[in-house]
Amino acid sequence: MSKRTIIIGDVHGCHKELSRLLKEVQADPKEDRILFIGDLINKGPSSRGVWDLFREMHGQAILGNHELSLLELVQGKFHKHGKYFEQLQKDFGRYFTDFVQDVSNWPLWFEDHELMLVHAGLVPGLHPDQTDPWVLTTIRTWDGEGADLKNSNNPPWFDFYAGNDLVVFGHWAALGGLDRPRLVGLDTGCVYGGRLSCLILPERKLVSVPAKKAYAAIN
């Protein structure tokens, strides 16, 4: 049997749901490669609990906008996600520095044999290495210039995707997920009362578990 790759969508501190999903798919860190799409932290009940499971599974993760903002906050920069900073410090306690060090080593994207992971999406025609980190972790729509990446009057970035790689992304909970031949969106809004989803390769199977409750309001 081919070694599985399990790609997990935005967890946002929903540690109980993550535990259930890992059990549902019988994730085995000795046999499976377990990848996270970013935004493991904030909004949900236990970012520390998610990190513990992440390490237990020997997971690999790319940066989401919430991890990217954490790294900026640690450097003393202002960010709207600063409202989560104090809670993160309380949640991690004496392990906060270790967590920040771990996150600082996460890449902005992941590529491997016709598979690409990005947290939010791709600028049409550009490789991630040509793209600003904040664009990679926040883009939703495309206006042709990149001046407004979240305007619902503009088409989604993925309507312009013309590559051959399978691109797996998260970040856009309001989509409720996406499943196209070369595009899979895995943010199904667990922290908002939706579901926590994963993609299993090579069989390309989508699996999800329901949230125990809504921990935050979607905006």
Alpha carbon distance 132, 124 (integer Å) = 13
Please count the structural domains in the chain: 1
**Averaged pLDDT, 177-181:** 96
The answer to the question of residue 83 being in a domain is: yes
Q: Can you give the residue range of the structural domain that contains 82? A: 5-118+170-210
In a domain, 135, yes or no: no
Over residues 190-200, the mean pLDDT reads 98
pLDDT digits (tens, 9 = 90+) for 85-115: 989 999 999 999 999 999 999 999 999 989 9
* CA–CA separation, 119 and 101 (whole Å): 20
Domain membership of residue 44 (yes or no) is yes
β-pairing, 183-185 vs 178-180, is: antiparallel
- Percentage of the chain modeled with pLDDT above 90: 86
Domain for residue 154, yes or no? no
The two three-digit tokens of residue 195, written as one number: 């579901």
pLDDT at 19: 98
Q: What is the dihedral of CA 107, 59, 71, 124, to 10 degrees?
A: 40
pLDDT at residue 2, rounded to an integer: 61
What confidence tens digit (pLDDT) does each residue in 53-92 have? 999 999 999 999 999 999 999 998 877 777 889 899 999 9
How high is the pLDDT of residue 81?
A: 76
| Chain-centroid distance, C-alpha 126 | 20
Looking at residue 194, its pLDDT comes to 97
Q: pLDDT digit string (tens) for 115-173?
A: 999 999 999 999 999 999 999 999 999 998 888 888 889 999 999 999 999 999 999 99
Cis peptide before 45 (omega within 30 of 0): no
Identify whether 158 is part of a domain.
no
Mean pLDDT of the residues in the chain: 94
What mean pLDDT is predicted for residues 28-35? 96
Max CA-CA distance within the chain? Answer: 48
pLDDT at position 191 is: 97
Average pLDDT over residues 31-49: 97
pLDDT at 11: 98
Q: Confirm whether 87 is domain-assigned.
A: yes
Which pLDDT score is estimated for 213? Answer: 96
* Range 171-179 average pLDDT: 95
The answer to whether residue 125 sits within a structural domain is: no
CATH number, domain with residue 56: 3.60.21.10
Does residue 139 belong to any structural domain of this protein? no
| Segment 182-199 mean pLDDT | 98
